[in-house]
Structure 1
Amino acid sequence: MGLKKLLNFLSSAPEKKPITNRKEVEKKYQYWRFRIFYSIYIGYVFFYFTRKSFTFAMPLIAEDLNLSMSELGLIGTALYLSYGFSKVIGGVLSDYANPQYFMAFGLFMTGVSNFFFGLVDSYWLFFAIWVFNGFFQGWGWPPCTKQLTYWFAKQERGWWWGIKSTSHNVGGALIPLIIAGVAGSYGWRYSMFFAGGISIFISLILLNRLRDVPSSMGLPPVEAYKDPKKKDLNLISPVRKSLPFKTLVKEVLNKPFVWYLSLSYLFIYIIRTACNDWLPLYLMKERGYTMILAASSITWFEIGGLFGMVVAGWCSDRFFSGKRALYMIYCTLALGLLIPMLWYQVFMNQYLEMSIIGLIGFFIFGPQVLVGLYAAELVDQRAACSANGFAGMFAYFGAAITGYPMGKIIDFWGWTGFFYALIFSLFICFILYFIMISQSRSFQFETKMPIEPSPS
């Protein structure tokens, strides 16, 4: 398939004649919102599945092929960097694409990369395949952004976005159970075959289940559907003509708040990924925890994060009227208390410390989920995926910093340096959110797309 044919295949579906019967619109919206939501949820679980499969097969890969920890770590860093760049590329492409095909194709290619990873023995082939995988990982979240932006109105979007974001946690919970289980029983190659094969299968389900935005099905914009006062639906959906590329880039890069959010995302991911990757080692080395107990801290961290994402979305809708930065600054204040409590070992009880780690997960995953949502809401709806992808690029640069650079900080300054890095990152987030709140009165939060009357 040539590049031109591929782009034509992925392009947005044409608009259909608008449906003006209110009951028919409500019936179709209720059905398709549910179907599209569970489809993108399941789909993203398996994007995460194919992203983290290597992590849990890594000990057996190292033993089988005699690879060093630094060699394995370089593969992981390469994934983060290629995924970070792909978030931008995937975001821009997704603004012009049909999410039905875009997400399915991306998952199909990540499945293929996992499958081929299990076939090779060369270190540099491992490296190249995992960079390839990282590129198509960036095709997962942008179509989810597009579906959530077009099928769910702003006043409810935080709740649905929060629920959708728990797919990370579901995927993260399934991976160690399944991949480690298959690898332990049949070898690491079969674990990669399994991850690849099931993801290819799920991609075919996505192709069947998903659809493009509402106007491609003759439906009015979701704001009209959610507003019961609008009895007359004799209007066309928001203008679907894609923004010219230069206009799209300006729409994202000329918004100061998008830059503030993106920079904050980098530091949010430093805190989140550092906790995820380094806390078990800290608890073993400094607190005398067993390996199993230290590893269970991440379970508490993820459980706290799961609830934190849902509550963040719901609270920012219900109590903060969509003012996401206000909720995020409260989260940074809470983390400003919790992280030093863990550092200074305020509670010498292991169960209380696990509770603190769970609360840290709760308050760090809240801003994490809201940054991407907020970035998408700040721009023209037709640039939502690009804005989300731009912010996401910064996030995975932050994740990359927690690998080799964070290791060097710990080598030079010990765990004091580790906690100083977390507190510094938290301080930067607080400053950025404070600036946003102070400037928000003069800023238009969401650029709405024009709505034109239907042609007579």
Structure 2
Amino acid sequence: MANDRTKLWKRLLVASFFVGFASCLFTRKTFAVFIPLLIHDLQWRESNIGAISSSFVIGFALSQVALSTLPNRISLRWVYTVCVLGSGLINILLGLFHHSLLSFGALWLVNGFFQGFAWPSIVRMTTAWYSADERGKILGIAGVGGNLAGMMAPAVFQFLAIWFRGWRQVFVITGVCSVVISGIVAVITRGSPAEVLKNVSNDAHAHKKEQSKLSETTKRTSMKTVFTSGLFWVMCLSHLLCNFAKCVLCDWTQLYLIQDKKWDQEQAILTLGAYELGGVVGCLLVGFLADCLMKRVDDMLNL
């Protein structure tokens, strides 16, 4: 009985990760897709666009600090739900009201703050629910949700902007969809097995034992050990370079094609989805490879 419930919640969690992360990326893409229209309608300069893009990244970074200070008693279910809900509400506010550069940038910073909670929450819930040799696949599926949203967003937003005659309406529509999805996420997400199996003694005991082991491992792994690890800094540098390239491609390619290469706006918008198409393949491939390597390591250790 307990195993059946666990399997059910694991399936629901995969759906939650996929849909919730896709919703976050969908609302995030509104700004990148409509950069030419924002410049035209609001009389902004490229430097203004850069400032607003930077505000999102600042909010995103601040959320990482905030998440690390959250007490363990706060369920990741609600952290994840608030992330999806908050990003949707911010998009609604951006679409409904006329904003100065400062107010738009401030709201986009808050959007970045909410969205920064998404991936760390997914990773921590994956660690709590799934064994080490299946986490790569689960995270890969969650990443595919975001990549598919990013791939479809340019074409969908272009259609909606033509149909509803304006970019503001698209901000509102994506925000409302995100708010609705946050309700679904709240229903089908649980932060850890303990939230589901608290009435089942055997499973609760097993989970408590596993959490105890994780706690002991965490205590032994001090911050000094992390910061003195060469691998840690290699990962940080790799992440920095990857995100630098991603920001350039996703935020500035469209303007470059329109202004320098004289492409039509419709053509330039559609090129934004090509990057995300590659991400779909990459997420699935890396996820399955990570699980295979982890399983191989476990087999070698058990010899």
**Equivalent in 300, 308, 316 of residue 282 of structure 2:** 308
In 2, Cα distance between equivalents of 1:322 and 1:266 = 30
In 2, Cα distance between equivalents of 1:122 and 1:294 = 27
The question of whether the paired residues in 1 share the 8 Å contact of 2:148 and 2:277 is answered with no
Q: Deviations over 1:167-215 (max 9, x none)?
A: 2211102322333332333212211111211111111111111112012
**Equivalent in 151, 155, 169 of residue 147 of structure 2:** 169
How far did residue 304 of structure 1 move? 2.3
The question of whether the paired residues in 1 share the 8 Å contact of 2:155 and 2:270 is answered with no
**Residue type of the partner of 1:301?**
Y
Cα distance, 1:62–1:317 mapped onto 2, change above 3 Å:
same
**Equivalent in 219, 225, 230 of residue 254 of structure 1:** 225
Where does the alignment leave 5 or more consecutive residues of structure 1 unmatched? Answer: 1-23, 221-231, 324-456
**Residue type of the partner of 1:161?**
L
Is 1:88 the equivalent of 2:65?
Answer: yes
Is 1:268 the equivalent of 2:242?
Answer: yes
Q: Deviations over 1:254-282 (max 9, x none)?
A: 32243432232112223444444566778
Equivalent residue number for residue 179 of structure 2: 200
Q: Deviations over 1:322-352 (max 9, x none)?
A: 77xxxxxxxxxxxxxxxxxxxxxxxxxxxxx
**Equivalent in 37, 40, 48 of residue 25 of structure 2:** 48
**Residue type of the partner of 2:48?**
E
**Equivalent in 95, 116, 120 of residue 98 of structure 2:** 120
How far did residue 165 of structure 1 move? 1.0
Cα distance, 1:278–1:212 mapped onto 2, change above 3 Å:
closer
**Equivalent in 199, 216, 237 of residue 207 of structure 2:** 237
Equivalent residue number for residue 194 of structure 2: 215
Cα distance, 1:289–1:299 mapped onto 2, change above 3 Å:
farther
**Equivalent in 122, 131, 137 of residue 159 of structure 1:** 137
Cα distance, 1:107–1:132 mapped onto 2, change above 3 Å:
same
In 1, Cα distance between equivalents of 2:251 and 2:190 = 37
- Aligned to 2:117, the other structure's residue is in SS state coil
- Aligned to 2:86, the other structure's residue is in SS state helix
Q: Deviations over 1:45-84 (max 9, x none)?
A: 1111222212223322322222222212211111122212
The question of whether the paired residues in 2 share the 8 Å contact of 1:182 and 1:191 is answered with yes
Equivalent residue number for residue 145 of structure 1: 123
- Aligned to 1:62, the other structure's residue is in SS state helix
Higher RCO (CA 8 Å, separation ≥ 6 residues): 2
Where does the alignment leave 5 or more consecutive residues of structure 2 unmatched? Answer: 298-303
**Equivalent in 157, 161, 171 of residue 179 of structure 1:** 157
* RMSD (Å), alpha carbons: 3.4
**Equivalent in 80, 88, 95 of residue 111 of structure 1:** 88
The question of whether the paired residues in 2 share the 8 Å contact of 1:179 and 1:195 is answered with no
**Residue type of the partner of 1:203?**
S
- Aligned to 2:134, the other structure's residue is in SS state helix
What does 1:16-27 correspond to in 2, within 5 Å?
Answer: 24-27=1-4
Equivalent residue number for residue 78 of structure 1: 55
Q: Deviations over 1:201-251 (max 9, x none)?
A: 11111111111201222279xxxxxxxxxxx8694313558x99xx88x74
In 1, Cα distance between equivalents of 2:150 and 2:140 = 16
What does 1:337-348 correspond to in 2, within 5 Å?
Answer: none
Is 1:189 the equivalent of 2:160?
Answer: no
Cα distance, 1:94–1:167 mapped onto 2, change above 3 Å:
farther
**Residue type of the partner of 2:178?**
S
In 1, Cα distance between equivalents of 2:238 and 2:73 = 27
Equivalent residue number for residue 63 of structure 1: 40
**Residue type of the partner of 1:167?**
G
- Aligned to 1:97, the other structure's residue is in SS state coil
The question of whether the paired residues in 1 share the 8 Å contact of 2:75 and 2:191 is answered with yes
TM-score, with length taken from structure 1: 0.55
Equivalent residue number for residue 130 of structure 1: 108
In 1, Cα distance between equivalents of 2:272 and 2:120 = 27
Aligned residues: 286
**Residue type of the partner of 1:41?**
F
Larger radius of gyration: 1
How far did residue 90 of structure 1 move? 2.6
What does 1:94-105 correspond to in 2, within 5 Å?
Answer: 96-105=73-82
- Aligned to 1:67, the other structure's residue is in SS state coil
Equivalent residue number for residue 393 of structure 1: none
In 2, Cα distance between equivalents of 1:306 and 1:47 = 16
In 1, Cα distance between equivalents of 2:235 and 2:205 = 34
In 2, Cα distance between equivalents of 1:147 and 1:234 = 16
In 2, Cα distance between equivalents of 1:41 and 1:235 = 30
Cα distance, 1:274–1:55 mapped onto 2, change above 3 Å:
closer
**Residue type of the partner of 1:204?**
G
The question of whether the paired residues in 1 share the 8 Å contact of 2:125 and 2:192 is answered with yes
The question of whether the paired residues in 2 share the 8 Å contact of 1:150 and 1:214 is answered with yes
In 2, Cα distance between equivalents of 1:234 and 1:209 = 20
Aligned-residue identity in percent: 25
